[in-house]
Structure 1
Amino acid sequence: MSSHQTAKTEGVGATNARGALLKQERALQTRQTVLAAAAEMFAEHGYPAVTVMHVAERAEMTKGAVYFHFANKEALAQAVVEEFYRRLPVIVAPALGKKGLDPLRAVAEVMNRTALAFRDDVVIQAGARLQIERSYIGAELPPPYTAFQAMIEELLTRAEVEGALQCRVSPEGYARVLVSAFFGAQHISWVQCDRNDIEDRVREIVEAVLPDRA
């Protein structure tokens, strides 16, 4: 093969590779658009009331485009819940990464950051609602909030080792109380006032339950 032919063949290969990459990127963007639309619909209307057609209309796509990425409504719900749990560690990472922040203050900041996400992030809102409606979803979902509770327990264990946590229950029990209070508060805030007061409610939990962090 001549050098000219070789260069031409390599050029075709490069063009094909770029085309495949662009196609991949478009498919990923389409999937994210569908996922965002599903989250909005689940957050607003709840799992039982939402259909694949509703999601397609919100995403401004055909049902076929939705089905290309998700086999059914259950798969959409699973994907939203998975994204919910993927986002939680990202939301609290800045609090955990702060240098010089003692464990109890880290717990307070984790709770506050999560509260703001529940107020502002529709995927977080949808994930929380789908956890409540999990009995309607014919697909397996992760056990609720186990990783989040483990993270709080780890911080409280550090606080206990440092002598900052003096309580009649273990760090594990303390974490269960805090997590239950938090997710109960966000639910009541959602029902009563669309989570507009969630930051205040969570601050009250932190001030009432955590020892003085001054």
Structure 2
Amino acid sequence: MARQQERARRTRAAIIRSAAVEFGKSGYAAASLNRILEGSRATKGAMYFHFDSKEDLARAVLDAAVERYRTSIERWLGRTDLGPLDILRGMLDEVALRLDNDIIIQAEFRLIIEPEFHRDVQAGGGRILGRAIRMLAVRAIDQKQLRHDADPDKFARTLTAALAGQRYVTDMVGGPVDMRMRFTEALEIIVEAMGTPEWLEEFRTVGWRASARPDDLNVGTASP
């Protein structure tokens, strides 16, 4: 029984990953279930055992992306060896790295701009990221990294909008873009405007103390 359950889990994960590749490449409407089956090496019966429809499969991809965001962000928020702004930089650096390398996150970004999934934005990875950014802004104010009069809501809104804008602009212009550099630039511009003189002076000498590692991504499976 345990072996059958593990085989079923692996089959489901393979279908989700193949679906993410197809949705990320073709979008939702043009995605082909046949190509998803070919990529996963699963049977049609196996696919319909796990998923009722193409929409159900797309929502499984979105759920997998949310779990990856949640796992990644919780890991960064749990760091006790870094200040809040360095934690924020490391967290955003990992998101950028995932956008370049994690097919599940790439597919989520493609799906949430489709009309069928606009409402999923409110419960998606971006919402989780926005809450984490605000939390870290509050910590940074308490620890005198951001000015005492800084507004954590304004900080979070402005930064999340800048990050989303960088990602959309990248799609429009095409060609290779260093997303990690773009995300760091967006963060630095906002922090320069809201940081305390003391933190900024130290930052200009030391720089960022945290960055993401490819080994942390766990991109070989459909779930964290």
Fold match by TM threshold 0.5:
yes
Q: CA deviation at 1:165?
A: 1.4
Percent sequence identity over matched residues?
Answer: 30
Q: What does residue 141 of structure 1 align with? A: 120
Equivalent-residue separation in structure 1 for 2:129 and 2:13 (angstroms): 24
Deviations 1:143-173 (A, max 9, x none): 1422211111011011112222128652012
Q: Calculate the TM-score normalised by the size of structure 2.
A: 0.78
Equivalent-residue separation in structure 2 for 1:48 and 1:98 (angstroms): 41
Tell me whether 55-64 or 73-82 shows the greater mean CA deviation. 55-64
Whether 1:66 and 2:34 are equivalent positions in the alignment is no
Matched residues, number: 193
| Structure 1 segments unaligned to the other structure (5+ residues) | 1-19
Q: Calculate the TM-score normalised by the size of structure 1.
A: 0.82
Q: Is the 8 A contact 1:108 1:206 kept in 2?
A: yes
Equivalent-residue separation in structure 1 for 2:113 and 2:119 (angstroms): 14
Larger radius of gyration: 1
Whether 1:181 and 2:170 are equivalent positions in the alignment is no
CA-based RMSD of the aligned residues comes to: 2.1
Structure with more contact order per residue of length (Cα contacts < 8 Å, sep ≥ 6): 2
| Structure 2 segments unaligned to the other structure (5+ residues) | 204-224
Q: Is the 8 A contact 1:118 1:195 kept in 2?
A: no
Equivalent residue in structure 1 for 2:62, among 74, 81, 90 = 81
Equivalent residue in structure 2 for 1:31, among 12, 15, 19 = 12
Q: CA deviation at 1:199?
A: 1.2
1:52-131 residue pairs with structure 2 within 5 A? Answer: 52-131=33-112
1:147 to 1:94, Cα distance in 2 relative to 1, 3 A: closer
Equivalent-residue separation in structure 2 for 1:200 and 1:46 (angstroms): 27
Q: CA deviation at 1:91?
A: 2.5
1:109 to 1:166, Cα distance in 2 relative to 1, 3 A: same
